[in-house]
Amino acid sequence: MTSIGPLATVAATGDTWRGPESFWYQVATEGGTGWAEVEHLAFLGAVDDATAEVVAALGSVPSATTIEALGLDAIAPFLSTEPATAVTMTVAPGTGGVDDITYDLIEVGDDALRGVRMRIRASNEGSGFVLESVERTALCARGLSGAGCS
């Protein structure tokens, strides 16, 4: 059994399989062909700047001693408890850029929108990190339609 990373590009081959409680697509990657449960796949949708929403929700431009803490502060306004938002760090600090971190926020409340990917960029002020921008990408469950999820 092999796993693919959260940023991997896959192509559906057209074959599907329905299990008793799940639906699977056969997918091809650079490493070969395999099966992926549909609830773990998403189409990348529209991208927008959510910085103003974060600053408005928090009351000021956030800062923190670590980029991980800043990232969690920045995504806090987008988390829900019902249904609960699952949060996964998909790009660790220093791998997507020196001062950025990316989280996927997966929600089960909307059948078209699986969740959002939040890329938080910060400036390193020496004693901590200050928010520069928040880029939000829609993670579409069923596909794309124009500028949005279908």
Amino acid at 115: G
Are 61 and 128 within one domain?
A: yes
* CB-based burial label for 36 (10 Å; 0-12, 13-18, 19+): middle
User: Is residue 101 situated within a structural domain?
Assistant: yes
Q: Would you give per-residue pLDDT tens digits along the chain (150 residues)?
A: 677 777 778 888 888 889 888 888 888 888 888 888 877 788 888 999 999 999 999 999 999 999 999 999 999 999 988 888 999 998 888 755 568 999 999 986 677 888 999 999 999 887 889 999 999 999 988 888 877 888
Domain that holds residue 27: 11-40
Q: What does the chain come to in residues?
A: 150
Are 35 and 107 within one domain?
A: no
